[in-house]
């Protein structure tokens, strides 16, 4: 019997090492990415057991969450963060794991550097102690976040116990209008299905709008799969994927490249492959999206009003925290801070989009704009293209690579009560600093908002 298989099925099937009945599968992990926050207890677990890292050559560490984004060459001032960062150095040294350390030109946000180095590839399995590992699915990899106990399992065995997920096709029909970008596609999906809508599933993004996206746009979409409750999101590889990967430091070359591409061409879902569910989004009718509430599902087209509570306690609680009036669009809502960065939107194309809008304009007085590149390579590229100069001339703060104000672990944070338009992925209460209020949006919307000092529709600048 020949059966049609989805992309997910193919990657799953080719990584099952063992599968006893009544137990989860033992799944082989091709690439394990590690950062300072979710790994120390796992390395300690190895020490307690007296075992090593089984495949340091399939493991890559970097530091991104706890690190400052300026003066990275100087000692870290926060003693607790300094200890955590130092512990990662000790662990990598002791266990032989390669580390992109502060000051290395490969350092950056873990989900930015994996693709940049060519380690992220179609058809492989990737895990990291970080829920935004779903980013790497943009290449047709099966990539998902795990807890620290599982980090220890993978360090020790290069395998993970996993149950098969349900599959959900997310089809974006049509092409988005001018000013509507990857971030708007994924925010629109999550607003539609809710933050638990994908629980138990792996998304496969299909359709004309996805095919038309650059790899960076695809990463933005896959990155926020977890905000829809799906552990992973995948996109079948195509010429766009191969073009991105060709010539990357760790990409295969010569005959190995040709062999790899012919393997990758087998990955897309077969005609007639069955998904457990399909969700359709009409990409052509979308507007720029913005969130108004305290989870990523609480989003609206930017011209549309913030919803009325309607007896829903979640909406009322969110409006109360955000101190917003229902029934009115967010357009014109004053903001204190604009943040461009994070594993969602800190890549060179994101920075170019924001810089194009800001060129020759000024960040509104009273607004603090922070632009944080996703990696040192992106920082260098942006500086060579003159983007950093555009940001500086506009009055924005240009920083060094890291997670920064997406998670506010490093001192880059909102003050109590401040409003921020942010290109990051989570608007949970206090996510960007205790008492801070986040509106999630695209880099275009962020830049337009910075200019006006209030939530703004970027289409008037295009």
Residue 381 within binding range of other proteins, rule CB under 8 A: no
Stretch that binds other proteins, among 129-137, 281-289, 302-310, 342-350 (CB under 8 A): 129-137
Q: Contacting other proteins (CB under 8 A), which of 47, 93, 105, 161? A: 161
Residue 84 within binding range of other proteins, rule CB under 8 A: yes
Residues in 216-255 that interact with other proteins by CB under 8 A: 226, 229, 231, 250, 252
Our CB check for other proteins shows the closer of 45 and 395 to be 45
Q: Contacting other proteins (CB under 8 A), which of 63, 338, 371, 407? A: 407
Q: CB of residue 213 vs other proteins: minimum separation in angstroms?
A: 25
Stretch that binds other proteins, among 139-147, 352-360, 382-390, 452-460 (CB under 8 A): 139-147
Residues in 89-118 that interact with other proteins by CB under 8 A: 98
Our CB check for other proteins shows the closer of 14 and 418 to be 14
Q: Token match 């390395």: residue?
A: 43
Stretch that binds other proteins, among 20-28, 183-191, 341-349, 376-384 (CB under 8 A): 20-28
Best CA proximity match to 147, nearest among 133, 124, 125, 130: 130
Residue 408 within binding range of other proteins, rule CB under 8 A: yes
Our CB check for other proteins shows the closer of 255 and 272 to be 255
Stretch that binds other proteins, among 36-44, 175-183, 234-242, 343-351 (CB under 8 A): 36-44
Residue 169 within binding range of other proteins, rule CB under 8 A: no
Residues in 285-304 that interact with other proteins by CB under 8 A: 295
Residue 418 within binding range of other proteins, rule CB under 8 A: no
Q: CB of residue 309 vs other proteins: minimum separation in angstroms?
A: 14
Best CA proximity match to 204, nearest among 172, 176, 162: 172
Residue 58 within binding range of other proteins, rule CB under 8 A: yes
Q: Contacting other proteins (CB under 8 A), which of 4, 23, 253, 332? A: 23
Q: Contacting other proteins (CB under 8 A), which of 9, 64, 116, 150? A: 150
For 345, counting Cβ atoms within 10 Å of its Cβ (0-12 exposed, 13-18 middle, 19+ buried), the class is buried
Our CB check for other proteins shows the closer of 204 and 457 to be 204
Residue 41 within binding range of other proteins, rule CB under 8 A: yes
Stretch that binds other proteins, among 18-26, 234-242, 392-400, 450-458 (CB under 8 A): 18-26
Our CB check for other proteins shows the closer of 296 and 374 to be 296
Stretch that binds other proteins, among 25-33, 266-274, 384-392, 452-460 (CB under 8 A): 25-33
CA distance 237 to 138: 8
Q: How many CB atoms lie within 10 A of CB 3?
A: 9
Our CB check for other proteins shows the closer of 256 and 258 to be 256
Return the HEC string of 341-400: CCCCCCCHHHHHHHHHHHCCCCCCCCCEEEECCCEHHHHHHHHHHCHHHHHHHHCCEECC
Q: Contacting other proteins (CB under 8 A), which of 147, 332, 334, 386? A: 147
Residues in 310-349 that interact with other proteins by CB under 8 A: 313-314, 317
Residue 148 within binding range of other proteins, rule CB under 8 A: yes
Residue 307 within binding range of other proteins, rule CB under 8 A: no
Our CB check for other proteins shows the closer of 186 and 409 to be 409
Residues in 250-279 that interact with other proteins by CB under 8 A: 250, 252, 256
Residue 214 within binding range of other proteins, rule CB under 8 A: no
Return the HEC string of the chain: CCCCCCHHHHHHHCCEEECCCCCCEEEECCEEEECCCCCHHHHHHHHHHCCCCCCHHHEEEECCCCCCCCCCCCCCCCHHHHHHHHHHHHHHHHHCCCEECCCCCCCECHHHHHHHHCCCCCCCEEEECCHHHHHHHHHCCEEEECCHHHHHHHHHHCEEEECCCEEEEEEEECCCCCCCCHHHHHHHHHHHHCCCCCCCEEEEEECHHHHCCCHHHHHHHHHHHHHHCCCEEECCCCHHHHHHHCCCCCCCCCHHHHHHHHHHCCCCCCCCCCCCEEEEEEHHHCCCEEECCCCCCCEEECCCECCCCCCCHHHHHHHHHHCCCCCCECCCCECCEEEECCCCCCCHHHHHHHHHHHCCCCCCCCCEEEECCCEHHHHHHHHHHCHHHHHHHHCCEECCCCCHHHCCCCCCCCCCCCEEEECCCCCCCCCCCCCCEEEECCHHHHHHHHHHCECCCHHHHC
Residue 163 within binding range of other proteins, rule CB under 8 A: yes
Our CB check for other proteins shows the closer of 103 and 314 to be 314
Q: Contacting other proteins (CB under 8 A), which of 143, 146, 219, 306? A: 146
């Amino acid at each position: 019997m020949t059966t049609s298989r989805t992309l997910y099925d193919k990657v799953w099937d080719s990584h099952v090492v063992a599968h006893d009945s009544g137990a989860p599968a033992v799944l082989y992990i091709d690439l394990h990415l590690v950062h300072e926050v979710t790994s120390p207890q796992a390395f300690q677990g190895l020490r307690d057991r007296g075992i090593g890292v089984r495949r340091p050559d399939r493991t890559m560490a970097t530091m991104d969450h706890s690190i400052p984004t300026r003066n990275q060459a100087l000692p870290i001032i926060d003693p607790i963060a300094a200890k955590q960062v130092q512990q990662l150095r000790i662990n990598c040294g002791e266990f032989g794991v390669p580390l992109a350390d502060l000051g290395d030109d490969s350092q950056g946000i873990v989900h930015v550097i994996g693709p940049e180095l060519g380690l992220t590839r179609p058809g492989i399995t990737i895990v990291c102690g970080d829920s935004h590992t779903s980013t790497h699915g943009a290449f047709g990899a099966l990539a998902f976040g795990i807890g620290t106990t599982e980090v220890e399992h993978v360090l020790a065995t290069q395998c993970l116990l996993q149950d098969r997920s349900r599959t959900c096709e997310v089809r974006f029909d049509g092409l988005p209008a001018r000013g509507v970008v990857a971030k708007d596609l994924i925010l629109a999906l999550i607003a539609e299905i809710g933050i638990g809508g994908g629980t138990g599933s792996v998304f496969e993004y299909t359709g004309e709008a996805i095919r038309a996206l650059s790899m960076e746009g695809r990463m933005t979409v896959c990155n926020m799969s977890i905000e829809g409750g799906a552990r992973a999101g995948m996109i079948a590889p195509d010429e766009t994927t191969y073009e991105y990967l060709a010539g990357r430091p760790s990409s295969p070359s010569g005959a190995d490249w040709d062999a790899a591409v012919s393997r990758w061409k087998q990955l897309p879902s077969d005609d007639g492959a069955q998904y457990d569910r399909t969700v359709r989004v009409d990409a052509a009718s979308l507007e720029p999206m913005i969130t108004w509430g305290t989870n990523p599902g609480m989003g609206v087209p930017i011209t549309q009003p913030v919803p009325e509570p309607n007896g829903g306690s979640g909406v009322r609680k969110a409006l109360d925290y955000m101190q917003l009036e229902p029934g009115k669009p967010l357009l014109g809502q004053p903001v204190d801070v604009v943040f461009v960065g994070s594993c969602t939107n800190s890549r060179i194309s994101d920075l170019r989009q924001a810089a194009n809008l800001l060129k020759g304009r000024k960040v509104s007085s009273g607004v603090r704009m922070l632009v944080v590149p996703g990696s040192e390579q992106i920082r260098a590229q942006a500086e060579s293209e003159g983007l950093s100069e555009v940001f500086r001339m506009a009055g924005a703060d240009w920083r060094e690579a890291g997670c920064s104000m997406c998670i506010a672990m490093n001192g880059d944070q909102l003050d109590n009560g401040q409003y921020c338009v942010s290109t990051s992925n989570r608007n949970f209460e206090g996510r960007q600093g205790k008492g801070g209020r986040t509106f999630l949006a695209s880099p275009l919307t962020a830049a337009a908002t910075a200019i006006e000092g209030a939530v703004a529709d970027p289409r008037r600048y295009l």
